[in-house]
Amino acid sequence: MNPMKTEKEKMLAGEVYDACDKELLEDLNRVKVLCQQYNNLLPTDFAARNKMIREILGQADEDTFINQPFYCDYGKHIRVGKRFFANFGLTVLDEAFVSIGDDCFVGPGVHIYTACHSTNPAERATRKEWAKPVTIGNNVWIGGNVTILPGVIIGDNCTIGAGSVVTHDIPADSIAAGNPANVIKKI
C-alpha cells in the first residue's frame, strides 16, 4: 500500500495540494467539456438535460433542474437533494464537497466556492491550494447573485438575501443578508 496521497486525495481531505497536478487538470478539462455540452443542449430538451446533469453531478435525481448556463470544476463533488432547482448562471468550484439538501432553490448568478488560496503572493504563486466543503440544508432559498465562501454551513429553512456574501455559518431557520451576510430575522 502506498502511504503517499495523490493530489486528488489531498484535495478532498482538505489538505494543501498542487492545483496543477496532471490528474486534476485532466478531470477539470473533462468536466469543462461536459458543462459545455450541457449548456449547448436545447433548453426545452428536459430529458437530455436531466440525464446529462446527473452525469456531471455526484448526486442528483430525476427532478433536478438547473437552468443553463451551469459551470463547475469537478461536478462529482456536488450532491443535490430531491427537487433541486437552480436558475441561470450557477457556478460551483467544487474542489471540496458541496452538499445541498432537499427542496432548495438557487437564484440566478449564484457562486459557491470551496477552493482556498494563500493571501501571501509568493505562496499563491506556487499554485498550492486547499479546499473546504460547503453544506446547505433542506428547504433553503439562495437569492440571486449570492456568493458562498469555502467552509460555510447554511442550516435548514434559511433564506439568503440577493447579493449577499456568505462568509460564515448561518443557523437554521434564519433569514440572512448583506456583505458579509448576517442573520436579520429568525423564522
Q: Any idea which fold 7-186 has?
A: UDP N-Acetylglucosamine Acyltransferase; domain 1 (2.160.10)
pTM of the model: 0.95
Q: Exposed e or buried b for every residue in 151-179, given b needs 16+ CB within 10 A?
A: bbbbbbbbbbbebbebeeebebbbbbbee
Q: Residue 34 to residues 64, 88, 89: CA-CA distances in angstroms?
A: 17, 17, 16
Per-residue confidence (pLDDT) for residue 1, from 0 to 100: 47
Domain ranges of the chain: 7-186
Per-residue confidence (pLDDT) for residue 2, from 0 to 100: 54
Spatial distance between the Cα atoms of 99 and 153, rounded to a whole number of angstroms: 10
Grid coordinates belonging to 153: 454551513
The segments of the chain whose pLDDT lies below 50 read 1
- Taking only the tens place, the pLDDT of each residue in 51-88 is 999 999 999 999 999 999 999 999 999 999 999 999 99
Structural contact between residues 146 and 126, judged by C-beta atoms closer than 8 angstroms: no
Q: Which residues are known catalytic residues?
A: 117
Q: Which residues pair with 185 in a beta bridge?
A: 175
